[in-house]
Amino acid sequence: MAPFVALNEVSKVYKRGRQSVAVLEKFNLEIAERDFLAIMGPSGSGKTTLLNLIGGLDMPTSGTVSVAGERLGLLSSGALARWRSRHVGFIFQFYNLMPALSAERNVEIPLLLTPLGAAERRRKVLAALELVGLSERRTHKPSELSGGQQQRVAIARALIADPTLLICDEPTGDLDRHSAEEILGLIQLLNREHGKTVVMVTHDARAAAYSLHQLYVDKGQLFANGRGVSA
């Protein structure tokens, strides 16, 4: 069976003035469908760049990235945006909620560009908030919610289009330990019972323990169990 995510000989070089900075070099990675992969490593090691490539937010300098049977580099910008809206849900360390909007309105935002009518949008929003345990707080604004509750709203927003892939960049980095464990348990549930493929970057070994597999990135290279697995 073909991998759900496949990076083949991927390099990423950023330009800083006249200087070229290589973040990833001939990077290879395969992730199976319904896997939950935690990626660890020091700051500046290429973790977030890797997430951006898998999520279609950035393109490699060379090599190929394929996700859910689609080679991302072959898509136009419009087709890539449509692909992301169908297949990828993003969960970040900071919740990026609109402060003037209620929880349900924040969750609804991704659906406003779809042809769905108001009644269908509301049905999906309520289902997503119920899944993350926030039905009773749906009319509350972010300032009226705890950090853990705000992250649950962000997760509901990421789930609203029923994506196949969840990209999580330090999803518990701004939370206390109790709230972090609740969020990690929810992400684990989404993987185990709802079949979401999850790729999570974290600095926290306790957070990584919720995943099915862990890999380590350092200086643009990939390691598993202390041994290099990428050229």
pLDDT tens-digit map of 80-94: 988 998 899 999 888
Residue 115 has pLDDT above 50, yes or no: yes
Say what the pLDDT of residue 56 is. Answer: 92
- Across the chain, mean pLDDT equals 88
- pLDDT tens, residue by residue, 152-193: 999 999 998 889 999 999 988 878 889 899 899 999 999 999
The two structure tokens encoding residue 31: 């992730």
Residue 204 has pLDDT above 90, yes or no: no
- CATH code at position 193: 3.40.50.300
Residue 1 within any structural domain of the chain:
no
230 vs 173, higher pLDDT: 173
Residue 88 within any structural domain of the chain:
yes
Residue 10 within any structural domain of the chain:
no
User: Once rounded to an integer, what is the mean pLDDT over residues 68-97?
Assistant: 89
Domain of residue 192: give its range: 36-62+75-226
Please tell me the pTM assigned to this model: 0.87
Rounded Cα distance between 97 and 174, Å, is 14
Of the pLDDT bands very low, low, confident and very high (cuts 50, 70, 90), residue 229 is very low
Q: Kindly provide the b/e burial profile for residues 205-223, where b requires at least 16 CB atoms within 10 angstroms of the residue's own CB.
A: eebbebbeebbbbeebbbe
Say what the pLDDT of residue 224 is. Answer: 65
Q: How many domains, the chain?
A: 1
Find the helix packing angle between 147-159 and 177-194, rounded to 10°.
20
Rounded Cα distance between 189 and 200, Å, is 14
User: Once rounded to an integer, what is the mean pLDDT over residues 63-74?
Assistant: 92
Residue 31 within any structural domain of the chain:
no
Say what the pLDDT of residue 227 is. Answer: 41
Residue 16 within any structural domain of the chain:
no
Residue 2 within any structural domain of the chain:
no
Say what the pLDDT of residue 228 is. Answer: 40
Of the pLDDT bands very low, low, confident and very high (cuts 50, 70, 90), residue 116 is confident
Residue 94 within any structural domain of the chain:
yes
Of the pLDDT bands very low, low, confident and very high (cuts 50, 70, 90), residue 18 is confident
Say what the pLDDT of residue 82 is. Answer: 87
What is the bridge-based pairing of β-strands 88-92 and 165-169? Answer: parallel
Say what the pLDDT of residue 203 is. Answer: 87
